[in-house]
Chains A and B, each alone.
Chain A
Amino acid sequence: MIRFTQSFKPFWQTLNFSVWRTTGVLLLMWMIGGGVHAQSDRIDLDRIQRATVFIMQARQNVTAPIMTCVGTGTIVSRDGLILTNAHNTVPNRSCPGELLLIALSVRAYEPPIPLYQAEIVQADEGLDLALIRITRTNDGRLVDPAVLALPFVQLAESDDLRLDSTLTVIGYPNIGDQAITQVRGTIVGFTAEPSGGNRSWIKTSAQIPGTMSGGGAYNQDGDLIGIPTTAPITADSPDATCLTLQDTNGDGQANSRDDCVPTGGVINLLRPVSFARPLIRAASLGLQVEFLSSMRAVETAAGTPSFSGLFFTPAVNEAGMPTSTIRALPSGSTSLYLFFNYANMTPETVYELQTTVDGVDNPTFGLSPVRWSGGQNGTWYVGTSEQPLPNGVYEFNLLIDGVSSGTARLIVGPADTVPSFSDIVFGVEDIQGNIAGNGFVLPVASTISARFIYRNMVDGASWAAIWVRDNAEIPGSRVEEIWTFGEQGTRTIRIQSPSGLLPGSYRLDLYIDNRLAATSQLTLAGAQDGRFARIFDDTHFTTAQSPEEARSSAAITSFSAGTEAIYALFDWQLLAPDTRWTVTWYIDDQVFFEQTLPWAASESGENFLMRLTSRETIPDGTYRLELKLNNLLFGSQTARVGIGQLPIDRFASATGVQMSGTIYDAYTSMGIVGASVFIVSEDFSAADFLRDWNQAQLFASAITDRTGRFEIDRLLQPEVPYSLVIIADGYLPITADGVEFAPTDESFDIPIYLTPG
């Protein structure tokens, strides 16, 4: 219900409804009451296009910036945080520029216009994701983030995705000389990797131009579900075009002797937006985690990157280990994982999996060139699940930087009845012979027990068990026997060392007739605590003036609001160098930092130190630190800052009604420049605001431009009764209470006429 009130009348004037004012008011009432629907689709394409930016990485030159790389990005917060890829923003050998220029689609159907500069806030080069923040205007002036009110997009829950769902990818298809473009497609599959489980990548049928890398893919509700991602395009990439745009060598000509900007290529892979959430959260809150203690090893490759030891498994357990090894899959199988060892890999290494089925390329079961997101050395897998694998002969070819580095072959067809070992589990064996423990991280001891399942075994077959530590067979651990234990069941084997087994990573390989039948890994670390390992101890938080002081400060679980830094400390024992451990920080149960890195401190010690800081002070919230090995939790601590909960972000929602319009002079029909439009929050009326004139009573406001046009910079929530006040010097003001929008409204554009007073 809408009420119109005429207020703020000079006392000697009487109400005098002019024709034009009445018409304008009635028009306003009708439109608000009727609910003008500018768009009936659920996806707000206009808003998404405005929130999609063109990013130009450049290097500073004496006279002008020299463009080095281009890409697309998406604004994910009102104050100018942009989500994009790392490979075309973080300086690297393919894209060496240090300057980031941001161009916006100011007018639909026109190329973007450079308006801002940005800086990198968070980046994960392995995941190829980066958060950059707008910091300056084009002329170098600082931008106040509190004043920026840019359109931004809503993130979706990637886990809600289904095969064959339609998605819309939005970005800039070229070097920035074309308007923003949308490409439609469907989800055709998911690719698994250890970095993110079964949905580490989303595969789409959409043929996405390479320069749209870093843009956004949206579901039918207009929520961001993924980021088109590809390996960096270089001049040598297939299907790449390198465009010469500037005279970079100063010889007076722009030709092939100058630096060029690589474009081209096609993308069909999306990084799920769930990978970006921790980065976005940390960037929004300005949180930074530093390792102050015995720095983590900088993984510099000592040799040529390589893959080896390829094998297949039909499933992966919760520790990321293969359940068994196979050479064939039965018909109707829906999951398959290719495991392999890797060495000398770096985040800038590009790897790719090409797959053929019966000699025909099948990208559904492959992986387009992407950056490496694993460590330097170890075991990795690429897999597929949730979709049936057609019968046929599968050939897999792993490539590193475009060069083949390993091949493997698998048959999908008849049921596999060959003898098999599977489901290796490690643990501590009790007197009754039961295996206990968490299965893949055991305390340092003198004995490791491993239990496995065997099927279709034939007595008389030869089998072997080989224990490996640090990729070298443990002397004296090999078992080579003739099988006499029946057709199927479980078997337990052990490795012992009277002097005690050293901490570190171990692997058990089981062979049947000299064929690798099963393999699994475990980590020995920490002291024995019953059946489990005690690796991390005395995990606590504290505050101090310096790291040295923090080491001797008492533990604190509740910090006052306004704390500038929080230190986290823990003791550790029997943790071998290069053991991969994972640090995860949470705020209000939401991850904002997670990193898996090789252990680089001593084997045992005290007071490993980390520091949490923020742009200003640590935001209120409940913080939790978790320490894990092989996805198993071994240390945790929680602390509260301030009220123990993040304040509600009034500007966090990207859903609502976009209100805009034009204000005209009722007599001349010319736009009124500089008119002020106020949206008063639902707790106050227009009369309240006109009496108090307090900014705190406002939900949003806007000022008209040279054409009389205004845009409210904050989305209005449906079914909330706002009040509207419009004023301009020389004109009679307009007020209205009870302005509400229906839940189905998405945008609202209205002409308003003011009468000269």
Chain B
Amino acid sequence: MTVIEVGREERGQLTLRQRWSHYLVLVYALTMLIVGVNLRDSLLYATVPYEDVRAGIRAFYPQGWLLDNQGDYVFRVRDMRRTDFKTTIQVQILPVSADSTTRNLLDNLLLTRAQIFGQYRQFPRAIFQLPDETPATSVNYTFVASQDDPFLESFPTVVAGQDVVILQREQAVIITFQASADEYDTLYPVFQTFLADLEF
């Protein structure tokens, strides 16, 4: 009788090399994961520096947003990829007198915007603090935006926005963030990042 022994190999001890290979694979995978996440984040949240020496503004805005500094603002950037309202960040400087208060300024903004934006509604104002602890005032609002071209059929979009107003040295710095109301909360961190890097 032939005995055929069917058995299991004894599990032997891992060699040092094998053990280190396992460790390295894990470390490598973890490292690549971290690198990948960082790369993703750096791409998604990549920023572009902007500086206006005359206005004394230095900022970092999201990469791939359309820069416009040809209007009555220091600069404005918009995310043109969005298919709803083009998310907008804008920095504007207005001259104010020594007698002007933040309230005067916000009232003027309200009156001006109410004439331009449809269904403009301003919500209660609040004290705001920039990431560098500069005191400011913020006001949230909403309005209805529509295309200007009368020959196209566009549905209006409800837009939510926030103005952060800082009075300093007889000028008012107004930092505006506007986004589609549906995506406002999701996109707000972009504005927070912008504020964190803003210098004036």
The interface of chain A, by Cβ under 8 A from chain B, is 10, 50, 104, 106, 115, 139, 141-142, 144, 146-150, 672-676, 678, 692-696, 702-707, 709-711, 713, 727-730
CB-CB under 8 A for A676 and B81, given A141-B116, A696-B70, A706-B155: yes
Interface string of B74-98 (1 = CB under 8 A from A): 0000001111101000000000000
Q: Is B154 in contact with A706, judged by CB distance below 8 angstroms?
A: yes
Q: Is A727 in contact with B149, judged by CB distance below 8 angstroms?
A: no
B67, B71, B83: which contacts A672 (Cβ < 8 A)?
B83
CB-CB under 8 A for A727 and B152, given A141-B116, A142-B116: no
Q: Is A693 in contact with B83, judged by CB distance below 8 angstroms?
A: no
Q: Kindly state the separation between the CA atoms of A406 and B115 in the bound complex, as whole angstroms.
A: 55
List, in ascending order, chain A residues with CB within 8 A of B86's CB: 676, 703
Q: Kindly state the separation between the CA atoms of A41 and B153 in the bound complex, as whole angstroms.
A: 28
What are 27 A-B pairs at a CB distance below 8 A?
Answer: A10-B43, A104-B150, A104-B151, A106-B151, A141-B116, A141-B117, A142-B116, A146-B71, A149-B148, A150-B150, A673-B83, A676-B80, A676-B86, A693-B65, A694-B66, A694-B67, A695-B67, A695-B69, A702-B149, A703-B147, A705-B149, A710-B152, A711-B149, A711-B151, A727-B80, A729-B81, A729-B83
Q: Kindly state the separation between the CA atoms of A728 and B84 in the bound complex, as whole angstroms.
A: 10
A677: nearest chain-B partner, CB-CB: B80
A692: nearest chain-B partner, CB-CB: B67
Q: Kindly state the separation between the CA atoms of A141 and B70 in the bound complex, as whole angstroms.
A: 23
B68 interface residue (CB < 8 Å to A): yes
Q: Kindly state the separation between the CA atoms of A144 and B153 in the bound complex, as whole angstroms.
A: 20
Q: Is A706 in contact with B66, judged by CB distance below 8 angstroms?
A: no
B154: nearest chain-A partner, CB-CB: A705
Q: Is B116 in contact with A144, judged by CB distance below 8 angstroms?
A: yes
**Chain B stretch 106-148: residues in CB contact (< 8 A) with chain A:** 115-118, 147-148
Q: Is A727 in contact with B70, judged by CB distance below 8 angstroms?
A: no
Q: Give the one of A106, A676, A693 with max B CB within 10 A.
A: A693
Q: Is B81 in contact with A727, judged by CB distance below 8 angstroms?
A: yes
B49 interface residue (CB < 8 Å to A): no
Q: Kindly state the separation between the CA atoms of A139 and B48 in the bound complex, as whole angstroms.
A: 39
Q: Is B153 in contact with A705, judged by CB distance below 8 angstroms?
A: yes
Interface string of B30-73 (1 = CB under 8 A from A): 00000000000001000010000000000000011111111100
Q: Kindly state the separation between the CA atoms of A29 and B81 in the bound complex, as whole angstroms.
A: 23
Q: Is B118 in contact with A705, judged by CB distance below 8 angstroms?
A: no
Q: Kindly state the separation between the CA atoms of A359 and B117 in the bound complex, as whole angstroms.
A: 64
Q: Kindly state the separation between the CA atoms of A142 and B152 in the bound complex, as whole angstroms.
A: 20
Q: Give the one of A50, A695, A702 with max B CB within 10 A.
A: A695
Q: Kindly state the separation between the CA atoms of A106 and B147 in the bound complex, as whole angstroms.
A: 14
Q: Is A675 in contact with B153, judged by CB distance below 8 angstroms?
A: no
Chain B nearest CB, measured from A116 CB (Å): 8
List, in ascending order, chain B residues with CB within 8 A of A707's CB: 153
Total cross-chain contacts (CB, 8 A):
76
Q: Give the one of B64, B65, B83, B148 with max A CB within 10 A.
A: B83
List, in ascending order, chain A residues with CB within 8 A of B152's CB: 704-705, 709-711
Chain B nearest CB, measured from A151 CB (Å): 8
Chain A nearest CB, measured from B46 CB (Å): 12
Chain A nearest CB, measured from B120 CB (Å): 9
List, in ascending order, chain A residues with CB within 8 A of B64's CB: 693
B83, B116, B117, B155: which contacts A675 (Cβ < 8 A)?
B83
CB-CB under 8 A for A141 and B115, given A696-B70, A707-B153: yes
CB-CB under 8 A for A728 and B83, given A50-B151, A139-B118, A141-B117: yes
A sample of 18 more A-B contacts (CB under 8 A), given A693-B65, A695-B69, is A10-B43, A141-B116, A149-B148, A672-B83, A673-B83, A673-B84, A675-B83, A693-B63, A693-B66, A694-B67, A695-B68, A696-B70, A705-B149, A705-B153, A706-B155, A710-B152, A711-B152, A729-B81
CB-CB under 8 A for A709 and B66, given A141-B115, A141-B117, A672-B83: no
Instruction: Give the 10 A-B CB pairs with smallest separation, nearest first.
Output: A674-B83, A705-B152, A695-B68, A676-B80, A705-B154, A142-B115, A729-B81, A705-B153, A694-B67, A693-B66
Residues of B within 8 A of A (CB-CB), count: 30
Q: Is B83 in contact with A148, judged by CB distance below 8 angstroms?
A: no
List, in ascending order, chain A residues with CB within 8 A of B48's CB: 693
A136: nearest chain-B partner, CB-CB: B115
List, in ascending order, chain A residues with CB within 8 A of B149's CB: 149, 702, 705, 711, 713
Q: Kindly state the separation between the CA atoms of A141 and B68 in the bound complex, as whole angstroms.
A: 24
Q: Is A695 in contact with B82, judged by CB distance below 8 angstroms?
A: no
Q: Give the one of B66, B117, B147 with max A CB within 10 A.
A: B66
Q: Kindly state the separation between the CA atoms of A472 and B155 in the bound complex, as whole angstroms.
A: 72
Q: Is A141 in contact with B118, judged by CB distance below 8 angstroms?
A: yes
List, in ascending order, chain A residues with CB within 8 A of B83's CB: 672-675, 728-730
List, in ascending order, chain B residues with CB within 8 A of A709's CB: 152-153
CB-CB under 8 A for A695 and B150, given A673-B83, A674-B84, A676-B80: no
Q: Kindly state the separation between the CA atoms of A703 and B152 in the bound complex, as whole angstroms.
A: 10
Chain A nearest CB, measured from B103 CB (Å): 23
Q: Kindly state the separation between the CA atoms of A56 and B105 in the bound complex, as whole angstroms.
A: 38
Q: Kindly state the separation between the CA atoms of A729 and B65 in the bound complex, as whole angstroms.
A: 12
Q: Kindly state the separation between the CA atoms of A52 and B191 in the bound complex, as whole angstroms.
A: 44
Chain B nearest CB, measured from A678 CB (Å): 8
A694: nearest chain-B partner, CB-CB: B67
B43: nearest chain-A partner, CB-CB: A10
B75: nearest chain-A partner, CB-CB: A695
Q: Is B82 in contact with A729, judged by CB distance below 8 angstroms?
A: yes
List, in ascending order, chain B residues with CB within 8 A of A104's CB: 150-151
Q: Kindly state the separation between the CA atoms of A417 and B141 in the bound complex, as whole angstroms.
A: 87
Q: Kindly state the separation between the CA atoms of A106 and B69 in the bound complex, as whole angstroms.
A: 32
Q: Kindly state the separation between the CA atoms of A141 and B152 in the bound complex, as whole angstroms.
A: 19
Q: Is B66 in contact with A695, judged by CB distance below 8 angstroms?
A: yes
Q: Kindly state the separation between the CA atoms of A61 and B29 in the bound complex, as whole angstroms.
A: 76
Q: Kindly state the separation between the CA atoms of A729 and B83 in the bound complex, as whole angstroms.
A: 6
Q: Kindly state the separation between the CA atoms of A149 and B148 in the bound complex, as whole angstroms.
A: 8
B152: nearest chain-A partner, CB-CB: A705
Q: Kindly state the separation between the CA atoms of A674 and B147 in the bound complex, as whole angstroms.
A: 10
List, in ascending order, chain B residues with CB within 8 A of A139's CB: 118
Q: Kindly state the separation between the CA atoms of A150 and B152 in the bound complex, as whole angstroms.
A: 12
Q: Kindly state the separation between the CA atoms of A190 and B78 in the bound complex, as whole angstroms.
A: 55
Q: Is A115 in contact with B150, judged by CB distance below 8 angstroms?
A: yes
List, in ascending order, chain A residues with CB within 8 A of B117's CB: 141
Q: Kindly state the separation between the CA atoms of A709 and B151 in the bound complex, as whole angstroms.
A: 10
List, in ascending order, chain B residues with CB within 8 A of A711's CB: 149, 151-152
Chain A nearest CB, measured from B176 CB (Å): 16
Chain A nearest CB, measured from B146 CB (Å): 9
Q: Give the one of A148, A674, A703 with max B CB within 10 A.
A: A674
Q: Kindly state the separation between the CA atoms of A702 and B83 in the bound complex, as whole angstroms.
A: 12
Q: Give the one of B148, B153, B155 with max A CB within 10 A.
A: B148
A702: nearest chain-B partner, CB-CB: B149
A140: nearest chain-B partner, CB-CB: B115
CB-CB under 8 A for A695 and B70, given A141-B115, A144-B116, A676-B80: yes
List, in ascending order, chain A residues with CB within 8 A of B153's CB: 705-707, 709
Chain A nearest CB, measured from B55 CB (Å): 17
List, in ascending order, chain A residues with CB within 8 A of B66's CB: 693-695
Q: Kindly state the separation between the CA atoms of A142 and B118 in the bound complex, as whole angstroms.
A: 10
Q: Kindly state the separation between the CA atoms of A144 and B72 in the bound complex, as whole angstroms.
A: 12
Q: Is A705 in contact with B147, judged by CB distance below 8 angstroms?
A: yes
A696: nearest chain-B partner, CB-CB: B70
List, in ascending order, chain A residues with CB within 8 A of B118's CB: 139, 141
Q: Kindly state the separation between the CA atoms of A157 and B67 in the bound complex, as whole angstroms.
A: 41
Q: Kindly state the separation between the CA atoms of A481 and B141 in the bound complex, as whole angstroms.
A: 92
Chain B nearest CB, measured from A113 CB (Å): 8
List, in ascending order, chain B residues with CB within 8 A of A10's CB: 43
B66: nearest chain-A partner, CB-CB: A693
List, in ascending order, chain A residues with CB within 8 A of B84's CB: 673-674
Q: Kindly state the separation between the CA atoms of A709 and B155 in the bound complex, as whole angstroms.
A: 13
Q: Kindly state the separation between the CA atoms of A400 and B82 in the bound complex, as whole angstroms.
A: 64
Interface string of B163-175 (1 = CB under 8 A from A): 0000000000000
A105: nearest chain-B partner, CB-CB: B151
B77: nearest chain-A partner, CB-CB: A693
List, in ascending order, chain A residues with CB within 8 A of B155's CB: 706
Q: Kindly state the separation between the CA atoms of A696 and B86 in the bound complex, as whole angstroms.
A: 18
